[in-house]
């Protein structure tokens, strides 16, 4: 087994390698002067089971091309099996036609990864479960719910007295996975979306008066929707509001927006490497997911069950 890392999240790749007690495969992932991606694998991978770790976060297109070219290089170097390990699967929010003459970009990316030569995909908290069906190769979708639930138990006294909040109707199943592990109740924010990255709170389903709330979701990008939902919950009488989000995209002024919001704290995983702006905000805390990803990689390499991680 070998573990190859692109440039998107070297810190996480090194943590996964440490968990597996395995050195990262020697490789060069560089750029030509015109910014074309150039990859060279500097050790023999013939007949090996190779895992390529690369999140397609900002700059998404560059990191996606790195992943595709790494897969192609491994395929041409006669690797026995290639698994694309994508802690954060970019383009996941474009998983259906939202209007006339619009693409389904998540399906396009799935096709690109498959045609590049990947034999398997390992990812975490896909934006929607249907994306697994976009791939014609085995795809494992890890759940961050056990990881987040354990962190909540550690950092929040009487975790079973918390109220877990889904920020929209589509995220109910995801939020329920955490709530059930904490024996907590569930509330739902009825959110109406007027366009990409724009939404407003129309209604709150459940009594939040005097309760300590935790919003649970998969992606936070601009943080505008998250912060407005937190404000609406506080206006409805909540005692405090925190948020646990798997993928901290946090683009643009998102970090500053979180800093100035009513949120007590925002907890994210390190599926995306934090920028300097994000790392500089005291309200934003990171939970490591290297152990979860590393264990899943070990199980795949040993042909063991991955789903048993979540029993």
List the domain boundaries for the chain: 2-142+291-310, 145-288
* Residue 88 neighbours by CB under 8 Å, 6+ apart: 55, 56, 57, 123, 124, 247, 249, 271, 272
Binding residues: 34-36, 93-94, 127, 168, 193, 217, 221-225
Q: What are phi and psi of 169, to 5 degrees?
A: -65, -35
Find the mean pLDDT for residues 179-196. 83
Burial class from Cβ neighbours inside 10 Å (0-12, 13-18, 19+) for residue 136 reads exposed
The token duo for 52 is 């390529």
Looking at residue 159, its pLDDT comes to: 78
- Count other Cβ atoms within 10 Å, centred on residue 268: 25
The token duo for 43 is 């050790």
Binding residues for Mg(2+): 127, 168
Binding residues for ATP: 34-36, 93-94
pLDDT tens by residue, 127-162: 998 999 999 999 999 999 999 999 999 999 887 789
Element (H, E) at 286: strand 284-287
In this structure, CATH architecture of domain 2-142+291-310:
3-Layer(aba) Sandwich (3.40)
Please answer whether residues 227 and 261 qualify as being in contact, where contact means their C-beta atoms are separated by less than 8 angstroms. Answer: yes
Looking at residue 196, its pLDDT comes to: 59
Domains 2-142+291-310 and 145-288 share a fold: yes
Q: Which residues of 100-110 are buried (b: 16+ CB within 10 A; e: fewer)?
A: eeeebebbebb
Which CATH number is 145-288's, of 3.30.160.270, 3.30.43.10, 3.65.10.10, 3.40.50.2020? 3.40.50.2020
Marked catalytic residue, from 97, 191, 198, 283: 191
Name the residue among 217, 216, 211 with its Cα closest to residue 240.
211
Q: What is the spatial distance between Cα 116 and Cα 69, in angstroms, rounded to a whole number?
A: 8
Q: CA torsion, points 297, 303, 304, 309, in degrees to nearest 10?
A: 30
Nearest-5° Cα angle at 129, 288 to 152: 35
- Assess whether 191 carries a catalytic annotation: yes
Looking at residue 10, its pLDDT comes to: 96
* Residue 153 neighbours by CB under 8 Å, 6+ apart: 159, 182
Looking at residue 168, its pLDDT comes to: 86
pLDDT tens by residue, 194-250: 665 566 666 899 999 999 999 999 999 999 989 999 999 999 999 999 999 999 999
pLDDT tier for residue 190 given thresholds of 50, 70 and 90: confident
């Amino acid at each position: 087994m070998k573990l190859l890392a692109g440039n998107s999240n070297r810190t996480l790749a090194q943590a996964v390698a440490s968990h597996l007690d395995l050195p990262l495969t020697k490789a060069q992932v560089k750029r030509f002067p015109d910014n074309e991606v150039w990859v060279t694998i500097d050790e023999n991978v013939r007949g090996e089971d190779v895992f390529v770790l690369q999140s397609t976060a900002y700059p998404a297109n560059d990191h996606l091309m790195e992943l595709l070219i790494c897969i192609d290089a491994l395929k041409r170097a006669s690797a026995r099996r290639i698994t694309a390990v994508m802690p954060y699967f970019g383009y996941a929010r474009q998983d259906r036609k939202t209007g006339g003459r619009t693409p389904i970009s998540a399906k396009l990316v799935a096709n690109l990864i498959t045609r590049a030569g990947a034999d398997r995909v390992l990812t975490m908290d896909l934006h929607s479960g249907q994306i697994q069906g976009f791939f014609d190769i085995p795809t494992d979708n890890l759940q961050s719910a056990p990881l987040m639930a354990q962190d909540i138990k550690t950092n929040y006294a009487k975790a079973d007295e918390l109220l877990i909040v889904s920020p929209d109707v589509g995220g109910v199943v995801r939020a329920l996975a955490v709530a059930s592990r904490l024996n907590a109740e569930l509330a739902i924010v009825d959110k109406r979306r007027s366009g990409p990255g724009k939404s407003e709170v129309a209604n709150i389903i459940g009594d939040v008066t005097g309760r300590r709330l935790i919003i649970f979701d998969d992606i936070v990008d601009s943080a505008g929707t998250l912060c407005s939902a937190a404000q609406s919950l506080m206006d409805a009488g909540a005692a405090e509001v925190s948020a646990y989000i798997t993928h901290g995209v946090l683009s643009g002024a998102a970090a500053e927006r979180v800093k100035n919001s009513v949120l007590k704290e925002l907890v994210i995983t390190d599926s995306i490497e934090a920028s300097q702006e994000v790392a500089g905000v005291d309200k934003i805390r990171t939970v490591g997911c290297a152990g979860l990803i590393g264990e899943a990689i070990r199980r795949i390499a040993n042909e063991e069950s991955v789903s048993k991680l979540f029993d």
